[in-house]
Amino acid sequence: MNGLEVEIVGLRLRNPTILASGIFDETGRSMLEVAKAGAGAIVTKSVSMQERQGYPNPCVAEVECGLLNAMGLPNPGIAAYADEIAMGRQGGVPVIGSAVGSNEDEIAEVAASLCSAGVDAVELNLSCPHADGHGMEMGSTPEIVRNVCDIVSARIDKPVLAKLTPNTTSIASLAEAAEEGGADGVVAINTLKGMTICPELRAPVLSNRVGGLSGPAIRSVGVRSVFEIFEAVEIPIIGVGGVSTARDALEYFMAGARAVQIGTAVRSQGTAVFSEVCWGLTKFMSDNGYESISDIVGVAHDDRA
């Protein structure tokens, strides 16, 4: 086992970097490219039972230190997407299917279909801040999160990850609810709800008006969220939000994450970001006497320092 190799929710990853859902994962071919570039695992785009067209343009806007997007979860539906998953699995790294649904039974059905398509684990997208009928309401309260995780965990025999929203008063309580509901791990954080307005047009830039903020602007929120969750649950945490360098990833590891997802940085740095982050992690570990990523996880907490 090399120093970067990690095991999380029963999956063996060659390194702790994971492609985040919704970025460069629309097709099996793009997933293969990400695997070839060095990612340790891949999360598919969020998939629903039926095809979703998503929102009209403009659906992405650049803002300082990040991106605002309101795509509306466009996807061809699980039946049509199964072939893309099969091709993506040829990359030789774990493929995690992202499931969305308008209610508990639907998201459980999607999760089961993803497992039938061959994914290694399922990530429940309970927290998309701009997807009408398939987003925030599914993960807005501990009671709903607990119920969804309970239903999905009873339905499938693959690991279940709950992706949580920061748009709440206590993300730690959502993580506790996910653990109580049988989730094998949590992913934190999803995008922050935001808006940008064009002064000349006197109107919101995005056609949906509201979108999800991602990128470096939300990293400190993500790190804080992971830190709080680490002290509240026993199940593993995957950190996501603004990771583009090894130093960014290290913040998440020291806060308590065992792996990190990378999304927005792929748009600006290309798929090479995965190997660049891994190179930086290897150098940091060598320079500071760490033998494995697990030696770094949680060290920022007082009782581990």
Q: Tens digits of per-residue pLDDT, 198-230? A: 999 999 999 999 999 999 999 999 999 999 999
In a domain, 61, yes or no: no
Domain hosting residue 144, numbered range = 6-52+72-192+216-295
CB atoms near residue 300 (< 10 Å): 18
pLDDT value at residue 136: 47
In a domain, 270, yes or no: yes
In a domain, 207, yes or no: no
At position 79, the amino acid (one-letter code) is A
Among the listed residues 59, 115, 128, 278, the single catalytic one is 128
At position 178, the amino acid (one-letter code) is A
In a domain, 89, yes or no: yes
In a domain, 198, yes or no: no
Q: Tens digits of per-residue pLDDT, 174-184? A: 999 999 999 99
In a domain, 148, yes or no: yes
Pairing mode of beta strands 160-163, 197-198:
unpaired
Which phi and psi angles does 269 have, rounded to 5°? Answer: -110, -10
In a domain, 303, yes or no: no
128 counts as catalytic: yes
pLDDT value at residue 140: 80
Alpha helices in the chain (DSSP H): 28-37, 78-88, 104-116, 142-155, 171-180, 219-230, 246-255, 264-269, 273-288
In a domain, 272, yes or no: yes
Output the domain CATH number for residue 279. 3.20.20.70
pLDDT value at residue 297: 98
Residue recorded with tokens 């913040």: 251
**Measured distance CA(135)–CA(52) in Å, rounded:** 13
Q: What is the DSSP annotation of 9-60?
A: TTEEESSSEEEPTTSS-SSHHHHHHHHHHT-SEEEEEEE-SS-B--PPSP-E
- Below-70 pLDDT ranges, the chain: 1, 129-138, 303-305
Q: How many domains does the chain have?
A: 1
pLDDT value at residue 168: 79
Q: Tens digits of per-residue pLDDT, 278-292? A: 999 999 999 999 999
Which phi and psi angles does 53 have, rounded to 5°? Answer: -80, -25
